[in-house]
Amino acid sequence: MITDKLYNARIYQGIDERIARGLAFLQKIAKSDPEIGVHEIDGKKLYAVVSEYTTKPVDNTQWEAHGKYIDIQYVCKGRERIGYANIHSLSNTKEYDADNDVARYSGEGDFITVDEGSFMILFPEDAHMPGRNAEKESGVVKIVVKVMTE
């Protein structure tokens, strides 16, 4: 898991070519008012989903992790807490579903406040719980870039 401000994206461009392209896409689109929906960058290998929602309290919500995709989660507007835990420290509650690229987990993890202009890179072993309240409920506009690992 990596978290930083978007203006530092250049630091992470050497990790992977698709991650570099995803971060470049974020730097370009973040300057505008991104349209809600799916934005194709390179077919199913690299695409972005722009969504708008209200954060929720941390409760018994399960953790999620992906097998085929790395997430780059960027907060355009608002503020949220995103939970993080390594999948090996959690209990698997729903086996990996390849069609939906998700496995579910339960257990304890840490939460990081992600402010407007910040991003997190979440790898397949990084279970996460996005969209949680920071101090209070908040409206959020977020871009999630999906980076295929294969």
The domain total for the chain is 1
147: left (phi over 0), alpha (psi -120 to 50) or beta: beta
**Residue 58 confidence (pLDDT):** 86
139/142 Cα distance (integer angstroms): 10
**Residue 59 confidence (pLDDT):** 81
**Residue 114 confidence (pLDDT):** 96
Which residues form the domain of 69? 2-148
Task: Write out the two tokens for 98.
Answer: 């390849």
**Residue 61 confidence (pLDDT):** 76
**Residue 51: which CATH number?**
2.60.120.370
- pTM, entire model: 0.94
**Residue 60 confidence (pLDDT):** 63
Over the chain, what is the mean pLDDT? Answer: 95
**Residue 150 confidence (pLDDT):** 82
37: left (phi over 0), alpha (psi -120 to 50) or beta: left
State the Cα torsion 73-76-78-84 to the nearest 10°. Answer: 10
CB 132 within 8 A of CB 81: yes
CB 80 within 8 A of CB 114: yes
How does strand 2-5 pair with strand 63-65?
unpaired
**Residue 33 confidence (pLDDT):** 85
Residue type, 120: M
Task: Name residues of the chain where pLDDT drops below 70.
Answer: 60
